[in-house]
Structure 1
Amino acid sequence: MFVNFILIILLFQCSINIKENNLETNKNTMLVHFIDVGQGDSILIQVNKKNLLIDSGPNESEDKLKKYLKKLNISKFDYVIATHPHEDHIGNMSYIINNFEVINFYAPKVENSTKAFETMAESLIRKDLKIKILKANMKSIDLGNNVIIDVFSPLSNRYEDLNNYSPIIKISYKNTSFLFTGDAEELAENEVLNAGFDLKCDVLKIGHHGSSSSTSEKFLNASNPSIAVISVGEDNTYGHPTDVVLSRLKEAEIYRTDINGNIVITSDGLSLK
């Protein structure tokens, strides 16, 4: 399917407002769900009666994602972030847009000619939902009381590798913090390090499924997580996570979706479980 170039450009503007959803289960806690979508990423953050979805996994895992979200009785997302236009991250975005109320949709300013990107764009157009540009230092994502969101990247306007458009985002809930990295590789990691951002976190979502091109020693030393989460498919053909990355994580407690399945980390603002 071919999506008109002008229509895609029109998407990169402001969004719409829809009614608030009630999440009683999140009172005084933040829940971070690393959903097992095989070789891909999909992360749901629930706090202050708000839902933020980062990526939607590959299309082949649509049934897994559907079942998981159905169990949570979710009807809307306050924020949806498409980290970059690779199918293993946006393969189910058209399903999310078509079947849920989406208030704010964020993505970096980059296009792609893949079917996954085009079906996502068409669904956004049908819903009259505009893309808000995701970039460093933006402050428009608000998850309510006691939550601080720092967007550290992308810091450049153009990258040769689409992975480096992935935002590096820190979400702090009271005294606990999570660092999300999409598929950001060492080039983007170095940009963030050189900018002097505070990367220290309790939980690190390992970049690019544990590829050796991400999670450099310098980046890991700066973030210094006690927990590392790897979203990765069982027996994947890429060899993820690589031994070199696993060896760097010897000081952290490691959780993997290919081994542990769905992973939920709960923060009360002081401790994690």
Structure 2
Amino acid sequence: MIRTPYGKQILIDGGGTLSFRKKGEEWKDRKDPYEVGKKLLVPLLKKRGVHHIDLLILSHEDADHSGGLQAVAKQIPISNFLFNGTYKPNKGIKELFETAEQLHIPLLAATATAPVRIDPLTTLQIIYPSEKKSSQVRIEEDQNERSIVCILDMDGTRWLFTGDMESGAERSLLNNDLTLTANNKQRPVDVLKVAHHGSKTSTTQEWLDYWKPRIAVISVGAMNSYGHPSPSVVDRLEQNKIQLFRTDLLGEIQMEVHNHQLYSRTKLE
């Protein structure tokens, strides 16, 4: 959740509850199952004073990033909804897009752009995917490599958000000069949102060499079944002397900008 110096509010992704039920095991589901958007995300946003979202960015359509957004869309007004320009056929995404249409929330397909002014001290630039806009939405089951990647420049600080991009997308982006301006190449980022919950499939040394982040944040569930974050990624970040924040160890991570400086605090509940 991003709140800009002039009060614009941007939400990137909304978590989600993964189901490992096999076909025919629906009887095991609870009548009122835990739903992260309804039970956690919406109450937390309202607690933080978020009653309107200027821009919702869904980095990609996997359930652990999109699932919580249905409750958000129903309970918090949204001005614009940016998605990756593809469609992953499943019940949750169908319901989310239908809700956006019913509420007349503009659905915008992302593509690489020049920096867009959000407020006098904030710009947002989409740097991936880099294909030209199409009038048709392509069906895409594998969503990680279609993740929206964006740079936020805010009051003298720089943030890189990566969704679940993998090493192939990292290489493609670094090799495509059309999506990276000379300004990007000259300026490192202050904060890197580490891709794919710290999976070993992302955050290569080449990626770190290019962006030279000072701080890295890994959004990852405690005791998750995937073993994220990968020890090799954590070691790589430490070897590059990048300060690391992990939600599995620290809980909620907040960062504030004052006079071009970053200040952080964490809250484990």
TM class, shorter-length: 0.7 to 0.9
Seen in structure 2, the aligned counterparts of structure 1 residues 160 and 112 have a Cα distance that, compared at 3 Å, is closer
Q: How far off is 1:73 after superposition?
A: 2.2
| Correspondence 1:252 to 2:242 | yes
Q: Name the stretch that deviates more: 177-186 or 194-203.
A: 194-203
Q: CA deviation at 1:236?
A: 0.5
Corresponding residue SS for 1:247 = helix
Q: State the secondary structure of the residue aligned to 1:152.
A: strand
CA contact (8 A) 2:153 2:159 kept: yes
- Unpaired runs of 5+ residues, structure 2, are 18-34, 133-137, 264-269
Match of 1:163 in 2: 144
The number of residue pairs the alignment matches comes to 229
Please say if residues 75 and 101 of structure 1, whose CA atoms lie closer than 8 Å, have aligned partners that are also in contact: yes
Cα separation, 1, equivalents of 2:229 and 2:47: 29
Secondary structure, counterpart of 1:128 in structure 2: coil
Q: In the alignment, which residue of structure 2 is the partner of 1:153? A: 128
Once superposed, what is the RMSD of the aligned Cα atoms? 1.7
Pick aligned residue for 1:234 from 215, 218, 222: 222
Q: How far apart are 1:269 and its partner, in Å?
A: 4.6
Within 5 A, what are the aligned runs for 1:6-155? 44-47=1-4, 48-59=6-17, 60-62=35-37, 63-137=39-113, 139=115, 141-155=116-130
Q: Tell me the distance in 2 between the aligned counterparts of 1:226 and 1:128.
A: 40
Task: Tell me the SS of whatever aligns to 1:94.
Answer: helix
Q: Distance in 1 between matches of 2:106 and 2:53?
A: 15
Q: TM-score, normalised by structure 2?
A: 0.81
In the TM superposition, residue 234 of structure 1 has moved relative to its aligned partner by 0.5
Structure number with greater Rg is 2
What is the distance in 1 between the residues matched to 2:43 and 2:51? Answer: 13
* Greater RCO (Cα-Cα under 8 Å, separation 6 or more): 1
| Secondary structure in structure 2 of the residue aligned to 1:98 | helix
CA-CA distance at 1:138 after TM superposition: 5.3
Kept in 1, the 8 Å contact 2:149–2:163? The answer is yes
Superposed CA deviations along residues 121-174 of structure 1, whole A, max 9, x for unmatched, are: 1211211223111111155x5420121222110124777731111111111113
Find the counterpart in structure 1 of residue 262 from structure 2: 272
Identical aligned residues as a percent: 31
Conservation of the 8 A alpha-carbon contact between 2:163 and 2:196: yes
